[in-house]
Structure 1
Amino acid sequence: MAASAQHKSVIITFPSETPDSVVQQAKDAIKANGGKITHEYNLIKGFAAEAPSVAMDAVSALGTEYPPVIEDDQIVTINQPATN
């Protein structure tokens, strides 16, 4: 039996003019390939997901008119400069 595919936490965003139907197709592709949507954003066109690489490949293959940006979901910190 093959090992299950490694899931990755990602954030997928689209250009602001992307139709909602394209974003929905991307979410459907994530779910159809064994992933899950973990958060849907309201201020930007996009969502967070946990999914195997095959799911990200499916999203990338949806088209070039509204290209998705797929980034690793990670913690971002800011280091404050030292004061003298």
Structure 2
Amino acid sequence: MTFKSFIITFKDSVPEADASKIKNSISSLGGTIVHDYSLIKGFAVKLPESLKIDKLKDLHGDAFETIEEDKEVKAL
């Protein structure tokens, strides 16, 4: 199975209880929380490619501030 990595941040208005429910739903959909950030309200996740990120947006999109594919960054 092939996975894609994303960094997801929540809107400031999202209560911690709702954020926890969303993280649990990601796990139930076959995703894995890779890192839970403490400086920002967000986390890194690996999702199976078969689970399109659009499905996650459809389920919880109003809670997310940003969803970005996690990619390698290089300094010039």
The change in CA–CA distance for 1:58 and 1:32 in structure 2 (over 3 A counts) is farther
Q: Which has the larger radius of gyration?
A: 1
Greater share of residues in strand: 2
Q: 1:29 aligns with which of 25, 28, 52?
A: 25
TM-score, normalised relative to structure 2: 0.76
| Aligned positions, number | 74
Aligned CA-pair RMSD: 2.0
Identity %: 36
Please say if residues 33 and 43 of structure 2, whose CA atoms lie closer than 8 Å, have aligned partners that are also in contact. Answer: yes
The runs of 5 or more residues in structure 2 that have no matched partner are none
Contact 1:9 1:48 in 2 (8 A): yes
Q: Which has the higher helix share?
A: 2
Give yes or no for contact 1:10–1:49 (8 Å, CA) kept in 2.
yes
Please give the TM-score of this superposition, normalised by the length of structure 1. 0.70
1:75–1:63 Cα change, 3 Å: closer
Structure 1: unaligned runs, 5 residues or longer: 80-84
Task: Tell me, in whole angstroms, the C-alpha distance in 1 between the residues paired with 2:65 and 2:3.
Answer: 19
